[in-house]
Amino acid sequence: MHSIERRLTVGLGAVFSGLVLAGALALYLSMRDVLHDQFDAGLRVKALVVITATEQQGGKIDVDFSDRFLREFDDDVATAFFQVWQVGGPSVERSDSLRRRELPQRFGTMKKPAFWNLRLPSRDRAGRAIGIKFRPRFDEDDEGSGRAAVDAVVVVAAERGDLDELLRQVGGFLGAGGFALLLAAWLAVRVVLRPGLRPLRRLADQAASIDARNLGQRFPEADVPAELQPICERLNALLGRLETSFQRERRFSADLAHELLTPLAELRTLEESAVKWPDTAGPEMFRETLDITLRMEALVLRLLELARAEHGRLAVTLAPVELGTLLREIWSAHESRTREKSLEITFNGPQSSPLQSDAVVLRVIAGNLIANAVEYTPAGGAVRVDWWVTAAGAQFGFEVTNPAPQLSESDVTQLFDRFWRKDAARTGTQHSGLGLAVAREFARALGGELEAKLRADGVLALRFACAGKGSRASPV
Amino acid sequence: MRVLYVEDSASLRRSVAEALRRSGYAVDVAEDGEEGAALALAEPYDVVVLDLMLPKLDGLALLHRLRAASKTTPVLMLTARTAVSDRVAGLNGGADDYLGKPFALEELLARVQALVRRRYGQTVATIELGPLRIDTVAKWVGCRGRAVDLKPREYALLEYLALRREAVVTRSEIEAHIYDDLANPMSNVVDSAICILRRKLTDAGVPPVIHTRRGWGYCLTLHDVCTPSSAD
């Protein structure tokens, strides 16, 4: 599993390691160059001493050098060596420290001498050498004699053991310092990262503690780092939607249980009574049990309809429909109830309103809307049914409006919930509370949408609008 | 014993009320919370059987109203909402018992009977008074092993007097607890019932146990020493 803390620690550690390594290497190399330069400068001085002591006399090279000047050339010290050659000629002089051994002959000019590392002839130690080709000064007697000048080559070598040891020490110091720095950097990264990532860890812990039982929890939006604030806001919004959805599902389950358990209790009580007191069993009881059974059957069928519509498996068959006629027909089924409640009904729409749709599905949608209006409009109230069809039936819809003084704005958001009814007691046995949920799913099956709006004057408007022949349902 | 049954389902209301009546209870019914609350507050019921989801006023609100008015009538909640949270809410709200739908009729009757017993401080189902033995579960009355043939209303009257034995019970209390709201308060139904009950008990060999306290009412006791009291 990827951990941000681990990745940051590794990333920052790698960067720090690279920087420390590069810094230490650069420091080591620059120190080595400085020390080499200093060593080379010392070699050059020694070479100049030898050059100064060299003169030509009568076409011959003479080196007037004494080991007393520089003790390292002496046989008993033997940490430095020199040898002088006449160019193209033999060796003319060498230090006592060389004894009879030879130095390799390589050279540059006075301005740009040749430097190189070598194994010293004495005791086979590591050393460094300088080689210069030069023109020895003339002896006082030969000066101005017009004699042809000869050139000489001097090679001076010295032990570099001390230099190498110093460089080793510097390297060791830089290595140890770099390692200590890396360790300190790693600790610093941990110390800085841990508290920095704490809000993220808290967020993760809180998210892990949320399950279906405590969806009411919310992430803190104040006192969190700015980077986490939008995440908390989004998560809270998501939790809010999830909680609402869970509440609806729980309510649906509880409502479904209630809808089924009550008729079951009715049946059981009737039958147990008949067993306990056989004289209670008779046509009346059987009629009652039949009513209850039919009610349960209707409920189950409605639930099946709803389930099929919700899963897009509602069969839709398009055929010519006369919308105005259809709405009036549906209303006619409620005429007696309308008269009982003295409701006033108004129809508004084009006389001719042909379109292509599924009459059966439309009947369910409109039937539920109209039945809802008849049931819940207070006695003496006015119900209005409007419909419209655009040219060639491309778009059509209808709207049922009725006074709904018992509804509040918050009720409207639940109108399409399965089993939702304003009266939690579900007193009426004719209405299961599934009608509007079914109507909305059927509306969607036709490619339309059913919406509810509570106007300021307390009038509820249920509006179905459809874009003509479109439908999302598939035949079954 | 008088029971109020508040239930919005017409079928349940009818069948459960009938079952309670056949078990010897005087039963009043209400189909919504408001009507139920009005009855429960006005009448001295021995038990209220209450549905939770009711129109106008839900069962819990009715219960709160009842308890707020210091009514101690035992309440049996009867509902399809049987989640633990619902049961806890009901019991914490002052219900004495909780029964989920669908229920066994026998269990409902037994629970109602248990609540009645508890209301009168009776812990066992059998009441014995000298040779007289009353089995409140079997609704059976006997004397020295011989059954006394009583009609449900007569049994209910005897059971009520037995539950309040050694205390004077007024006529109005008997009317309130034994007869439902269909009984005519102006009739001498109580006196007639007492008279019939006395005769049947005497015929069965039971010594005189129902004594008249003039100006007060009746008292069930082996000794003719009673004190006036009120159950509600």
- Specify the CATH number of the domain B2-119: 3.40.50.2300
**Intervals of chain B under pLDDT 70:** 181-187, 224-232
Distance CA A216, CA A218 (A): 6
| Region label for A426, one of left (φ > 0), alpha (ψ between -120 and 50) or beta (otherwise) | left
Which tokens in the block code for residue A393? 């039936």
The pLDDT, as a whole number, for residue B231 is: 46
What would the mean pLDDT of A288-297 be, rounded to a whole number?
87
CA A122 and chain centroid, separation: 69
CATH class of B126-228: mainly alpha
The pLDDT, as a whole number, for residue A60 is: 84
**Can you give the residue ranges of every domain in chain B?**
2-119, 126-228
Chains A, B: CB contacts within 8 A come to 84
> Is residue B11 a contact partner of residue A266, using CB atoms and an 8 Å limit?
yes
Indicate if the pLDDT at residue A393 is higher than 70. Answer: no
Band (pLDDT 50/70/90 cuts) for residue A471 is very low
Pick the most confident of A244-248, A431-435, A457-461: A457-461
**Chain-chain contact of B53 with A288 (C-beta, under 8 angstroms):** no
Name which of B6, B18, B77, B101 to mutate to probe chain A: the one with the most chain A Cβ atoms within 10 A of its Cβ: B101
Q: Looking at CA atoms only, how far is residue A243 from chain B in angstroms?
A: 18
Query: What is the C-alpha end-to-end distance of chain A, expressed in Å?
Result: 46
Band (pLDDT 50/70/90 cuts) for residue A423 is low
Q: Looking at CA atoms only, how far is residue B24 from chain A in angstroms?
A: 13
> Is residue A357 a contact partner of residue A364, using CB atoms and an 8 Å limit?
no
Out of A257, A262, A276, name the one closest to residue B9 (CB). A262
Q: Looking at CA atoms only, how far is residue B15 from chain A in angstroms?
A: 6
Q: Looking at CA atoms only, how far is residue B224 from chain A in angstroms?
A: 39
The vertex-A278 CA angle with A275 and A280, nearest 5°, equals 105
Among the residues of chain B, which ranges form H helices? 10-22, 33-42, 59-68, 84-92, 105-119, 152-163, 171-178, 189-203
Q: Percent helix, strand and coil across chain A, each rounded to 5? A: 50, 20, 30
Strand residues in A335-381 grouped as ranges (E): 344-348, 354-357
Find residues 423-462 of chain A whose CB sits inside 8 Å of chain B.
423-427, 429
> Is residue A61 a contact partner of residue A139, using CB atoms and an 8 Å limit?
no
What would the mean pLDDT of A399-419 be, rounded to a whole number?
85
Chain A CB contacts of B102 under 8 Å are: 261, 264-265, 267-269
Question: Quick one: closest CA in A to B19, which residue?
Answer: A273
Indicate if the pLDDT at residue A139 is higher than 90. Answer: no
Interface contact A279, partner B, CB < 8 A: no
What would the mean pLDDT of A154-177 be, rounded to a whole number?
90
Share of chain A above pLDDT 90, in %: 25
The predicted-structure confidence for A226-246, as pLDDT tens digits, reads as follows 888 888 889 999 998 888 888
Look at residue A245 and give its three-state secondary structure: helix
Q: Is the peptide bond between A278 and the residue preceding it cis, with omega within 30 degrees of 0? A: no
The predicted-structure confidence for A96-120, as pLDDT tens digits, reads as follows 888 888 899 999 999 999 999 999 8
Out of A254, A270, A423, name the one closest to residue B11 (CB). A270
Interface contact A265, partner B, CB < 8 A: yes
